[in-house]
Amino acid sequence: MLKNLDLTYHGNQILRMKNFKKDPKWTSGNELQYLKQVLANDKTIKSNPFTDRLERAFCETYGVNYAIAMNSATSAIHVALQVLGIKSGDEVITTPYSVIMDSSIPIYMGAKPVFADVQYDTHNIDPKSVEQKITEKTKAIIAVSYHGLPYDIDGITAVSKKYNIPVIEDNAQTQLVKYKSRNIANESTFALFSFERTKHISTGEGGILVTNCGHLAEEARKFAGLGFMNLTSSKSKMVAITPKDFQRPDFLRHDRIGLNYRYTEFCAAVALAQFERVNEIVQLRQNIGKKYDKLFEGTDFEPQTVREGYEHSYFSYGVKSPFEDKKHWIDFYDFHLDNGGDDFYAMMQPAYKEPIMDSLRYKSEYDGSCPIAEKVQKRSMLFKTNYRTIEEADLYLEKLRDTINNY
C-alpha cells in the first residue's frame, strides 16, 4: 500500500499522505489530445475553436444565452461592472466574507464598496442586510456563492427587482448545482465562474462571464477584447475579417476602449476537457462533503448549513469551530498537523479589515458593522475537498477524526 503513497515525515512519524494512484484531473480526460490539436494547427490560435466550444458548453449546461471566456474571474468582475456603467461616486454592495476582488475592483473604478452582513447558517450574503444598505447611489450588488453553496437567490432577486439594481453573481467557488431545482447563473444580470488552480475546473487561471442579455454580452466581449469593432455577443456571430482586410492601410479596428482580458486557446482546451467531466468532478467533491457531514455529527463544530432546496458543490467544507480565540484555533491546527493531518485554513479577514482598506478609511467606517461575518470568520475552518480520490480523502478525514477526538 505504501508504495502508492507520497509520504512526508517528521522524524519517524508520517505527517502527510498523498495517493498518486490516479492521474490528476487535468490529464485524465481529453486535455492532452486537445492541447496537441492547438499546437498542431496554427489556425487554431487565430480562430479560437476551443474557446468557442467552451463558451457554448457553458451556455448549454446552465441554460444561458451568452458566455465570454476570460483570463480570470477577477477580470470578469471588472468587465461586468464596466459594462453596467459603474463610475466614480457609485456604490456597489457586496459581502465582506469573500476574497478582496469583490470590493477592490469597485474601488479601482472609483466606486465605493458597501458591505452587507452574512447569514449565520449559510455564510452567504444576507438579503435583509443588502436592502438596509441601499441608497440612491447603489448601482450594483455582487452576491457571492461561498464555499460552493448558492446564496439566497430568491431573496437577492427580490431586492434587485424592488430597487431596479443589477446583480453580479459570483460563482467562482461554485459549479453545476441547482437552487430550488433551478439553474444558478440565470436570474442575475451577470454571473461568473473561475478556472483558478483550486477550482472545480482548473486551468491555473481563467474565468467565464455569462448573461442572458445580448447587448450586455456584446459590450462585455468588446471591453475584454481590446475594443475590436468586429466582436459581437457570441463568437458564432462575429464579423469575419480576413488577413487581406487586416493588412490594408485604411483598415480600422477599434470602436471603443477595451482591455486585453482574452482567454488563451491552450487554457480553453484544458478547461473544455475538464468541463466535459464536470459532473464527475463535482460529484467527487459532493461525496467528500457527505463524509465530512458524517464526521462532524455530534461534535461542537457547526458545518455550513445547506438549506432545503439548495445544492452544494463543495469547493471547500466550511465549519464554525468551537474556538472563539486565535490561540485555541492555532493550537488545534498545530495539533492536527503533528497528528499527520492535512492543511486546512481560516476564512480571510473581512475585506474592510485589510491594511489597504484601513489606509482608505474603510476599516474605520465598517469595522463592527457586519457582526455576523466577523463572528463567523473568527471561528471559521475550511477543509479541503479537492482530493483526487475518495480513498485519499478517507486517509485525511480519519486523521481529522483522530484530532477531534484527542484534542
Banded pLDDT at 46 (limits 50, 70, 90):
low
Least confident among 17-26, 96-105, 347-356: 17-26
From the candidates 25, 112, 139, 199, which is the catalytic residue?
199
Q: Is residue 1 over pLDDT 90?
A: no
Q: What is the pLDDT of residues 111-129, one digit of tens each?
A: 999 999 999 999 999 999 9
The predicted pLDDT at position 251 comes to: 84
- Residue-wise pLDDT for 348-364, tens only, equals 999 999 999 989 988 88
User: What number is the average pLDDT over the span 148-163?
Assistant: 98
Q: Is the pLDDT of residue 260 over 60?
A: yes
Residues 385-390 have a mean pLDDT of 94
Band the pLDDT of 232: cuts 50, 70, 90: confident
> Which pLDDT does position 229 carry in this prediction?
86
For the entire predicted model, the pTM comes to 0.91
pLDDT tens-digit map of 128-143: 999 999 999 999 999 9
Which pLDDT band, with edges at 50, 70 and 90, does 261 fall under? very high
- Say what the pLDDT of residue 252 is: 85
Question: Max Cα separation, the chain?
Answer: 76
The pLDDT mean for the chain works out to 91
Domains located in the chain, CATH noted: 2-24+278-406 (3.90.1150.10), 26-275 (3.40.640.10)
How far is Cα of residue 343 from the mean position of the Cα atoms in its chain?
20
Mean pLDDT of the 54-82 span: 97
* The pLDDT of residue 48 is above 80: yes
Is 50 exceeded by the pLDDT of residue 19?
Answer: no
Give me the pLDDT at residue 66, please.
Answer: 97
- Predicted local confidence at residue 155, as pLDDT: 98
Residue that is written with C-alpha cell 433551478 in the block: 182
Say whether 87 is catalytic: no
